[in-house]
Amino acid sequence: MERTTVALRPARPEDREAIAALDGSFTTDAVYEVTVSEHGFEIRPVPVDPPLHKVFPDDDDDDDVDGEAGSAGEDEGEPELTRTTVAVAPEGLCGFVTASFAPWNARLTIRDIEVAPAWRGKGVGRALMRHAVDFARECGAVHVWLEVSNVNAPAIRAYLRMGFVFCGLDTSLYDGTPSAGEQALFMVRPVR
Walk me through the domains of the chain, giving residue ranges and CATH numbers: 7-190 (3.40.630.30)
Report CA 171 to chain centroid distance, whole Å.
18
Beta strands in 3-142 (DSSP E): 7-10, 26-37, 40-54, 69-71, 80-89, 92-102, 107-115
- Rounded Cα–Cα distance for residues 54 and 117 (Å): 13
For residue range 1-38, list pLDDT tens digits in order.
Answer: 455 689 999 999 999 999 999 999 999 999 999 998 88
| Res. 61 pLDDT band, cuts 50 70 90 | low
What is the helix (H) or strand (E) element at residue 144, kind and residue range? Answer: strand 143-149
Q: Tell me if 83 sits within 8 A of 67, measured CB to CB.
A: yes
What mean pLDDT is reported for the chain?
Answer: 89
For residue range 47-57, list pLDDT tens digits in order.
Answer: 999 999 999 87
pTM of the model: 0.88
Q: Which of 174, 171, 173 is nearest to 34 (CA)?
A: 171
Say yes or no to pLDDT of 153 above 80: yes
For residue range 90-134, list pLDDT tens digits in order.
Answer: 999 999 999 999 999 999 999 999 999 999 999 999 999 999 999
Say yes or no to pLDDT of 65 above 60: no
Say yes or no to pLDDT of 69 above 70: no
Check residue 173 and give its pLDDT.
Answer: 96
Lowest mean pLDDT among 59-63, 151-155, 172-176: 59-63
